[in-house]
């Protein structure tokens, strides 16, 4: 069965892709590009690098611009999935939803309208176990946004590793450790499925503690060591 993956470039969509490999024939990636970090449904920071990630994965990419509001986001998702269905014959949509019923229900509604199955391989996972799986499976993900106390600007650019998982575990009473509530966002620079790795060359950081973003201005694909 052919599937597309809703792909933000972050840790969850890359882990969902790894989980889907072997169960489905992955036909393409589908990325929604919102106007700003205020998007209700989709990942914004560094979404411009998804083209580079798709190249590293060797997969076709469908990109669709969308508004930040719910209606505009869902209309854009419908257009993108309809194009994936018509162009690549996909029958299933793979998402990185973990425990957000709001997100999962909105995605499922659009899939139902298009007569597509919706597969959420990470659904119900414990957030800390998910982070451990990211590390153990060799996904290199860096923090590109912090958006809530007590996450500080100094976390930006750091790679999710065991030390970071311990930090997030200690903050569990304040935040969702997986960031699914929007507390933070990530960018994957390497994965077992990447044929090349992404190397940031130039970046800037905007904002202050508890509300800041790292923007990669230049990057290149390099051979994996």
**CATH number where 99 lies:** 3.40.50.620
1 near 119, Cβ under 8 Å?
no
pLDDT digits (tens, 9 = 90+) for 51-83: 999 999 999 999 998 877 888 889 999 999 999
134, 218: one domain: yes
Radius of gyration of the chain (CA): 16
User: Region 36-44: what's the mean pLDDT?
Assistant: 63
CATH number of the domain within which 169 lies: 3.90.1490.10
Residue 68 belongs to what domain range?
2-119
| pLDDT for res 39 | 59
pLDDT digits (tens, 9 = 90+) for 195-207: 999 999 999 999 9
**What's the CA gap between 75 and 224, in Å, rounded?**
38
User: Region 75-102: what's the mean pLDDT?
Assistant: 94
pLDDT at 38 over 70: no
pLDDT at 43 over 80: no
132, 108: one domain: no
18, 84: one domain: yes
Domain count within the chain: 2
pLDDT digits (tens, 9 = 90+) for 166-205: 999 999 999 999 998 889 999 999 999 999 999 999 999 9
| pLDDT for res 26 | 98
8, 76: one domain: yes
59, 164: one domain: no
**What's the CA gap between 83 and 62, in Å, rounded?**
8
Q: In what order do the strands lie in the sheet with 25-33?
A: 61-65, 25-33, 2-6, 92-94, 117-119
């Amino acid at each position: 069965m052919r599937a597309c993956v809703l792909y933000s470039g972050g840790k969850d969509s890359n882990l969902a892709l790894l989980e889907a490999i072997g169960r489905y024939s992955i036909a393409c990636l589908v990325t929604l590009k919102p106007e700003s970090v205020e998007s209700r449904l989709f990942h914004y920071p560094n979404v411009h690098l998804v083209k580079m990630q798709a190249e590293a994965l060797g997969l076709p990419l469908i990109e669709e611009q969308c508004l930040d509001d719910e209606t505009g986001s869902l209309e854009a998702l419908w257009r993108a999935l309809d194009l994936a269905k018509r162009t690549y014959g996909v029958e299933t949509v793979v998402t990185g939803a973990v425990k957000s019923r709001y997100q999962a229900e909105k995605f499922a509604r659009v899939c139902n309208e298009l007569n597509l199955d919706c597969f959420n391989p990470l659904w119900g996972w414990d957030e800390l176990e998910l982070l451990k799986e990211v590390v153990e499976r060799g996904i290199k993900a860096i923090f590109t946004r912090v958006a809530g106390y007590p996450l500080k600007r100094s976390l930006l650019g750091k790679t999710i590793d065991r030390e970071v998982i311990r930090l997030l575990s200690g903050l569990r009473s304040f935040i969702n450790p997986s960031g699914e509530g929007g507390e933070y966002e990530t960018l994957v620079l390497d994965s077992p499925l990447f044929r090349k790795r992404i190397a940031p060359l130039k970046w800037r950081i905007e904002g202050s503690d508890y509300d800041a973003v790292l923007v990669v201005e230049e990057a290149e694909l390099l051979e994996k060591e």
